[in-house]
Homo-oligomer: A and B are copies of this chain.
């Protein structure tokens, strides 16, 4: 494709993108698509074209075949899961990143890629009030032993630190001077007894990381009111496991759980686990971490200053388009010890001097994209103030929605304290109805909402009961949309109560 064709097509793409986002804002597109499984197969040839096609044909197909099959995460009526926010500045940053395509696995392979990442990750650490220990460069200019690295997702981040934690633990069992065979013997004997301890409310990514590593997960019950992990129960579980010959070596604690945005008591956990320094403590703040930019939440970050690692997704609430998970680690050496491997073709004087960071040793894959550019564009365009304004809107939309449902205690139960813009509700059965009926009503209301495709909410289970989760966090979120959803829910509860009775 020559420059002129590219310019023309790129301009057209930009118009399509602008028009797409404006249609979302004005609700010209339903948040959920009307397609059935396999809708696309009949629309696209089964084989690749032999001859090159005119790019405008492909752009037409984006309009007619792809957009109708999208679930619109940027739609103001998208209130499911957690947001995955797009922003125009994020797209600009990403365009340069693709334009500069490189597989920047070490410093020399593109110094700017490494250095911008180090700098903006320190910006992010500052912005969300992380302890100095998590920064590559301290605020007084001295070099730290920790630092941040951009990962693709919270799943990748927790897997990465779990490997670091496992190696720290297993290697501590190997006596100095042991030879390679002895080393594998000792590690091997312990591996099958490794275990990870989390609360039953921790996100599935920790469980998946443990599955990937072939390690058993042990779950600790949560406080039935707060849905936060009990530090005492955690401590007792670790003790009990050790007594039985297991090796608990890792725990994930959560700042804003997925089901209900519960917050684990980090300081109490640290105290409870003080006698088990071998247990790596990881903070999963995937969604709620973005709220730390707000002054009222920022002090929370001090609560995990004794933790080993912390991760949150700027690609959820903080307007950096997917993928951009920000992992911070207290001691980079644990990552490097676990993940460094330098074959001859990756040797180079800069890396060998130890003066540069090679982020390939801070992550699972070798190659990496230039993801810090999108953070740089977003943070500079919005400024910290702009990001705060955005997070404030998310909170306010949530508060507004929850005030609406709380005003109708005849129809809804708000099951847990609203936090971080998330409201969790159940539909109340008419007098005399039991919880099982409440479950049926709740599930059916959620099903009907989603079936209509005008709103997308999450139907889930918490504490064994059906719930509906509502959170609206895109830049397009408005109180008006919350109001419309509320009215829709009220109407549907009416319908469903009539049809489904005890």
Contacts and interface: CB of A to CB of B under 8 A. Distances in A.
B155 A152 contact: no
Contact of A115 (B7, B40, B190): B40
Given A95-B10, A99-B20, A101-B74, A153 B365 contact: yes
A221 interface: no
Tell me the number of copies of this protein: 2
A369 to B, nearest CB: 6
Contacts of A115: 38-41, 69
Contact of A155 (B20, B22, B365): B365
Contacts of A139: 46
A13 B84 CA distance: 24
Per DSSP, are chain A's interface residues mostly helix, strand or loop, or mixed? Answer: helix
A320 B347 CA distance: 27
Nearest to A33: B111
Interface stretch (A271-279, A299-307, A376-384, A402-410): A376-384
B103 A98 contact: no
Contact of A381 (B1, B38, B62, B193): B1
Contacts of A13: 92, 95-96
Interface residues of A, number: 157
A188 interface: yes
Nearest to A316: B103
A396 to B, nearest CB: 20
A463 to B, nearest CB: 11
A212 interface: yes
Nearest to A18: B3
Given A46-B122, A152-B152, A156-B365, 19 more contacts: A1-B87, A1-B381, A7-B18, A10-B88, A37-B107, A52-B383, A55-B92, A55-B377, A58-B377, A62-B373, A67-B112, A69-B110, A71-B104, A95-B95, A101-B321, A154-B366, A208-B364, A211-B339, A347-B459
